[in-house]
Amino acid sequence: MFEQCLYFNTTALARVLERAWSRAFKPFGLTPSQAFMLRVVLKQPGMLQSALAREMVIQRPTATRVLDGLQKLGLVQRCPTANDAREMAIFPTAEARAIEQALNAASAEVTRRLKEELGTDDFSQVVSNVKNTRAALS
């Protein structure tokens, strides 16, 4: 019935992937959104909250909610910038640095399993097609 429906098929895929990533990040007490955002913050400390939202392809209020959760967990801190006290730079805490390698390893393991199930070439092609479709429709 929905063979040609982009919405149905991408949403169904998103639910499958959400379950896989949720299992991977559960030992850290993080949702997939929190874990991916924390990985960006760990890689680019001091990134402005607005830039972080763009990098994550989410709206600023959504970024704020995810950051609120990470801050409550003691994994990030927000610091006002010198140029504009309303804009916040985001930094990982020592607690975040302590789990960085394990967090990246958990993420890599999910990717490894998906590549194994789909085949490396098909995996890469799907990711590329989804990114290109998202960019074209944005």
Residue with tokens 């999910």: 110
d(CA 1, CA 95): 48
d(CA 95, CA 28): 11
User: What is the CATH T-level fold of the domain 30-129, as seen in this structure?
Assistant: Arc Repressor Mutant, subunit A (1.10.10)
Helix (H, G, I), strand (E, B) or coil at 82: coil
Length of the chain: 138
Which residues, given as ranges, of the chain have pLDDT below 50? none
Smallest CA-to-CA distance from 74 within 92, 56, 87, 61 is with 92
